Amino acid sequence: MSYKDKKVITIGVVSELTGLSERKIRYYEERKLIYPDRSKGGTRKYSFVDVERLIDIANKMEDGMQTFEIRKQEQKLMKKQEVREKMLRGQLNAAFNIRK
Amino acid sequence: MSYKDKKVITIGVVSELTGLSERKIRYYEERKLIYPDRSKGGTRKYSFVDVERLIDIANKMEDGMQTFEIRKQEQKLMKKQEVREKMLRGQLNAAFNIRK
DNA sequence: CGTGTAAGGAATTCTGACACG
DNA sequence: CGTGTAAGGAATTCTGACACG
């Protein structure tokens, strides 16, 4: 896991980096679009990947997409990716005749 | 400038990442070994490069080095690097006969 | 010199709610 | 539905100082 995935950024900085209000950022979490870590005290910690994701979300919101649509779209992409990986693994196994 | 150089991490997280006390981290800044940014409110913001540097400093402290020695050692390395770059630039200019 | 700690205050973040639409 | 805001409290950070060595 690289630095991009480390959850170390507080919401104030994320707000500056993305231009989104803290309110919006918390709301997108409530709508299951983003999953920050928490410190013991309860303060949210984000990664740079989260920041990129928030910018992506902001663009889609601007395009008039609703939060549940963004979430569904994301799930579809996940599924596609899974299928792709399964197929790839199957082909690899067949090619090299790997079992287990 | 990559994510590694972005000053976005608060001192509490840096303390966790490095294992150093906040006191030590602030002290190394006082001794000119590290240069965090500040938010408008005055809270320190560090980058992952700073975190790496702090770990490096911690190792040298463990080896019994004093803060001014670490600072001097660093300056020497900087100077070496400068000389190296000047020489390289000189050679390039000579080779391609570039002026200005 | 390097670091811990208690002290008081300021900046930051959190949650739940009301508002508007 | 998405977002702003005021409210009260809790977590986080800041500085300057005293202590020890």
DSSP secondary structure string for all residues of A11-71: HHHHHHHH---HHHHHHHHHTTS---EE-TT--EEB-HHHHHHHHHHHHHHHTT--HHHHH
CA of B89, closest CA in chain A: separation in Å? Answer: 33
The pLDDT confidence band at residue B96, using thresholds 50, 70 and 90, is confident
Residue A78 pLDDT greater than 70, yes or no: yes
- Chain B residue closest in CA terms to A44: B13
Asked if residue B16 keeps its beta carbon closer than 7 A to nucleic acid strand D, the reply is: no
The pLDDT confidence band at residue B84, using thresholds 50, 70 and 90, is very high
Q: What is the mean pLDDT of residues A4-32?
A: 98
Chain A hits for B9, CB-CB cut-off 8 Å, are: 8-9
Q: What is the mean pLDDT of residues A5-13?
A: 98
Asked if residue B28 keeps its beta carbon closer than 7 A to nucleic acid strand D, the reply is: no
For chain A, domains (ranges, CATH) are: 3-96 (1.10.1660.10)
Q: Cα separation of A95 and A87, whole Å?
A: 12
Q: What is the CA radius of gyration of chain A?
A: 18
| Nucleotide showing the shortest C1' distance to residue B30 CA | C2
Contact B8 A13 (CB under 8 A): yes
The 3-class secondary structure across A75-91, one letter per residue, is HHHHHHHHHHHHHHHHH
Residue A30 pLDDT greater than 90, yes or no: yes
- Chain B residue closest in CA terms to A17: B8
| Span B45-80, pLDDT tens digits | 999 999 999 999 999 999 999 999 999 999 999 999
